[in-house]
Structure 1
């Protein structure tokens, strides 16, 4: 059977702040049987511009992403928020030609955990992590893409890992992209409640599928003196959770 050709959408935040997540995603896609390429022409997905009301800027970035990725069988990225933005590209265009191209890319764009479970039917083999962990459902992945059971199903295949339920796992962490900048007091109140719930689980690790959420929660946990360590789920599944956690780099 021909291996699917996947274009890896790295995301700005992963590229700038936690490249290991990109490497973990690449490793997982290859283990799942994909031929993976990382288009050098890729840019920001345009979500910050779109969220701020800059429709023209968001549309410009969308055109660049479409041109860079439409030739692949799939676009896959380690972020529900970025992939959610890409899935929404058709709403940006009044030009029918570009809208049609956007619809084509939207249909074949996936968040990594949903792609591994739903499209490739992949399960981890030979991956072990002796730890307890809890899981936070990032808003975009959950509400825009329906990613909820997939990461939990994949994590069941990690030997030695014991999952603990998180109260309010599907509640926003308070990051919300530009939301935390526009409404810092509300954002801080939300993440403080989230951090308390995480600590209450007694888990060694906090896992999630979006780096922005993880950085926000890791920062609050660190400031409150919690010992909880934070990793992207892809890092755990790829066997790459043996180094510094998010927020511990440097």
Structure 2
């Protein structure tokens, strides 16, 4: 399969290892990766803060970069951005776009997936040959859980990882408190929500807390670092990309 890889803003600027791990994993599974060089932001942050007309060029750019019929599927290591492409892009195109943009958005959103969705639903791959001999807990991010409804797909992938000690996270479906600009505009509430999440993560005794969104991991990881918990955060893609020969490919999660 020929798969277009969307890096996302956070992946590009702060967490490139999650993007690299996605490419390594899918290539190892025998698929051809395409990385359009002119890709930009999906526009989610504009829409979420009320600027719905401004991301029209970003939506148009996404369609231009990934709408090629030779690209069978589009993947991103982010439930948040996948949710934006699948839901917000259509709203923007309908309100401020033209017929060509609306048609392009419909075509591209139909083949856009978050990583666990692509692996399980499209590629039929649950055991991806990963090896990660550490205690891990999984945080299901809000967009992946409530917007994309990925369900237990990430957990199914993690359970198939050789050597892993996967422990259940108490109150897993509770928000970590990030929510993009929510964490900035409502800092006290966000911090209280994060404190609850940190208590639950630390209570598992996990070496690593993983998720499918770097944004939530950034928020949780910052909190874990400040309390010197000893628990690190690591994107799901990086765990799935790890093997016996490349045990910590592109990561320093566990020291």
Q: Name the TM tier (shorter chain).
A: over 0.9
Structure 1 residues 222, 13: CA separation in 2 closer, same or farther (over 3 Å shift)?
Answer: same
Shift, 1:224, TM fit: 1.3
- Pairing 1:111-190 to 2, within 5 Å after superposition: 111-190=114-193
Shift, 1:165, TM fit: 0.8
Aligned match of 2:54:
57
Work out the CA distance in 2 between the residues paired with 1:193 and 1:123.
31
Q: Equivalent of 1:30, from 5, 23, 27?
A: 27
Aligned match of 2:5:
8
TM-score (norm 1): 0.93
Q: Secondary structure at the match of 1:237?
A: helix
Structure 1 residues 125, 46: CA separation in 2 closer, same or farther (over 3 Å shift)?
Answer: closer
Please tell me whether residue 207 in structure 1 is matched to residue 216 in structure 2: no
Aligned match of 1:244:
252
Q: Residues 235 and 241 of structure 1 are in contact (CA less than 8 Å); yes or no, is this contact kept in structure 2?
A: no
Q: Equivalent of 1:227, from 213, 226, 230?
A: 230
Aligned match of 1:78:
77
Shift, 1:231, TM fit: 0.4
CA RMSD of aligned residues (A): 1.6
Aligned length: 244
TM-score (norm 2): 0.91
Work out the CA distance in 1 between the residues paired with 2:128 and 2:187.
42
Shift, 1:168, TM fit: 1.4
Q: Secondary structure at the match of 2:126?
A: coil
Work out the CA distance in 2 between the residues paired with 1:112 and 1:129.
18
Work out the CA distance in 2 between the residues paired with 1:47 and 1:128.
34
**Gaps (5+ residues) in structure 2?**
none
Aligned match of 2:107:
104
Work out the CA distance in 2 between the residues paired with 1:150 and 1:20.
22
Work out the CA distance in 2 between the residues paired with 1:99 and 1:178.
28
Q: Residues 27 and 238 of structure 1 are in contact (CA less than 8 Å); yes or no, is this contact kept in structure 2?
A: yes
Q: Equivalent of 1:42, from 39, 43, 50?
A: 39
**Gaps (5+ residues) in structure 1?**
none
